[in-house]
Structure 1
Amino acid sequence: MFDALIGPFIQFDFMRRALFGALVLALGAGPVGVFLMLRRMSLTGDAMAHAILPGAAIGFLIAGLSLPAMTLGGLTAGIVVAVLSGLVTRYTVLKEDASLAAFYLLSLALGVTIVSLRGSSVDLMHVLFGSVLALDDAALILIACITSVTLLILAATYRGLVMECVDPMYLRSVARIGTPLHLVFLGLVVLNLVGGFQALGTLLAVGLMMLPAATARFWSADVTMMVIIAVATGMFSGMGGLLLSYHHGLPAGPAIILVAGIAYLISLFLGRESGLIRAALPRRHLEA
């Protein structure tokens, strides 16, 4: 049992790097995912994940599989799409979901086209699905820096974010920080998606953000506890997915998201907060 669970990480350096990257990603992406879910912006995270694709693709077109170029391109594209979708929502009849959907489809098509102009199908798969087993020192440092910045900003804005989830109108009535807080939070979403892009690609980066958060909601109604459960679920999914990939020859990135999805399905049925099985059981008199 020890050899099956711990052996691969002791024997192989690339497995240790992948595990470190997955654990650090989960530490930053978990809390961001919880607030995305509580703010009913889960699909916004998915749209933003695809929004970084054209920028990363342009970086790839200019410099190949260069970490700085693809990171800078992805970060720029994500910020541009966030700003443009906000402007469209504010000055036209389109709602936020419609404008994000439009930019999401355009970004995905444009990014795939740009990569296809120069790269092979292998390069396209790398951009779309990442390469968690090939993380180098530069990628790990980038992921660690993004997570550190995320945790520091979340610590500074935690009360405001919780208040905006619970009663945004009250927050706007007592303080004028609603809009700046929203923009800062969108910046954190883009940052963590750029970090996740290095390991999981644009199509799966949002999975490590949203699936653990959705899982946590079935076990607790307390925001702090949800954050803790989401981080723990993300870390478990990272380790479990890497072991699944190692022992059964599966692609590592999809295996990580698959484990997170299994955790979500188990919680959907067994969770103490509105899990399907618990909800179907008869309750005691006056039990909430």
Structure 2
Amino acid sequence: MTLYSALLEPFVDYGFMRRALVATLALSLGSAPIGVLLMLRRMSLVGDAMAHAVLPGAAIGFLIAGGLSLPMMGLGGLVAGLSVALLSGLVSRTTALSEDASFASFYLSSLALGVLIVSLRGSNVDLLHVLFGTILAIDAESLCLVGGIASLTLLTLAVVYRPLVAECFDPGFLRAVGGRGPVYHLLFMFLVVINLVAGFQALGTLMAVGMMTLPAVVARLWAQTLPAMFAVAVAVGAVSGLVGLIVSFHLGVASGPTIILTASVIYAASLLAGPSSALRRLVRRPHLSA
């Protein structure tokens, strides 16, 4: 096998591979910076809960469309995700429950309800597509949706970058200067939900958060400043998508899980070799010795 046939031929000869590659690049541009902010806010598990929370809406979109219509399922997932985010925030502010506890409760209920809806009206194959995605089946309409979400995310981050960062690192200061911290928090949760909807289009509800979390934690091991973390996270997401698609094409395995496993391999290597890795901390010598 030549280098051309191994790396380039799948994308040159097959349109579905090109569309899948463009989708993963768009996901990397939109989801990776959001994942970095989620990690710095210590909300990575909240992102995972939100990924499961979109399932009932996606299932209802599946029923309305009478099949796997990604735009309809994405719209349903957006409504469901925003509803869970708003309800969880309301519960955490009106009861003794913390926000992560309310998210956990809602996402478990949402996941069970979504699986039940799809299993009642669809086949096991449909359920697998909803849970694990159909990145190789993305059409032009779905690709435009994913690209539009990535563009909207980058534009919004550019406009509200400073207050989002301030609300991330020091929300008390933002409240003290009248910075409308809750408004920016809701805006950030909206960005999380729409990027999970974009990830759902390609990777399914169970792994949509993977393109957020794994590149973000890799970036934390290699970079110290926020812009550098953004850049590293986007690069890791793009490389994971490219390598995952090539490996899945040649081995004949599912593309979505392969992409996430590729990011996991990069994460494992970063744990061993990164500047902030555990191995380097163990072998680092003290500056002063007796």
TM-score by length of 1: 0.97
Partners of 1:213 and 1:75 lie apart in 2 by: 23
Report the CA distance between 1:93 and its aligned residue.
1.0
Partners of 1:112 and 1:213 lie apart in 2 by: 29
Pair 1:239 & 2:238 matched? no
Amino acid at match of 1:266: A
Report the CA distance between 1:168 and its aligned residue.
1.6
1:223-264 deviations in Å (ceiling 9; x for gaps):
100000000000000001101101111100000000011111
Q: Secondary structure at the match of 2:160?
A: helix
Pair 1:70 & 2:73 matched? yes
Hey, what does 1:89 align to over in structure 2? 92
Report the CA distance between 1:284 and its aligned residue.
5.3
Partners of 1:227 and 1:176 lie apart in 2 by: 24
Hey, what does 2:140 align to over in structure 1? 137
- Check conservation: 2:92, 2:102, Cα contact below 8 A: yes
Hey, what does 1:269 align to over in structure 2? 272
1:97-156 deviations in Å (ceiling 9; x for gaps):
111110111011000000011100000001000100111000100001000100000001
Hey, what does 1:4 align to over in structure 2? 6
1:60-111 deviations in Å (ceiling 9; x for gaps):
1121222332121111000100000011101111111111110111011000
- Check conservation: 2:32, 2:237, Cα contact below 8 A: yes
Pair 1:28 & 2:30 matched? yes
Partners of 1:263 and 1:177 lie apart in 2 by: 38
Hey, what does 2:193 align to over in structure 1? 190
- Check conservation: 2:57, 2:79, Cα contact below 8 A: yes
Amino acid at match of 2:245: L
Structure 2 unmatched runs, 5+: none
1:27-75 deviations in Å (ceiling 9; x for gaps):
1001000000001100010000011000010111121222332121111
Report the CA distance between 1:282 and its aligned residue.
2.7
Report the CA distance between 1:166 and its aligned residue.
2.0
Structure 1 unmatched runs, 5+: none
- Check conservation: 2:23, 2:202, Cα contact below 8 A: yes
Q: Secondary structure at the match of 1:283?
A: coil
Matching of residues 94-109 of structure 1 within 5 Å: 94-109=97-112
Amino acid at match of 1:254: P
Partners of 2:70 and 2:125 lie apart in 1 by: 17
Partners of 1:148 and 1:213 lie apart in 2 by: 19
Q: Percent identity?
A: 60
Matched positions, count: 285
TM-score by length of 2: 0.96
Partners of 1:35 and 1:282 lie apart in 2 by: 29
Report the CA distance between 1:157 and its aligned residue.
1.1
Over the aligned positions, Cα root-mean-square deviation in angstroms equals 1.0
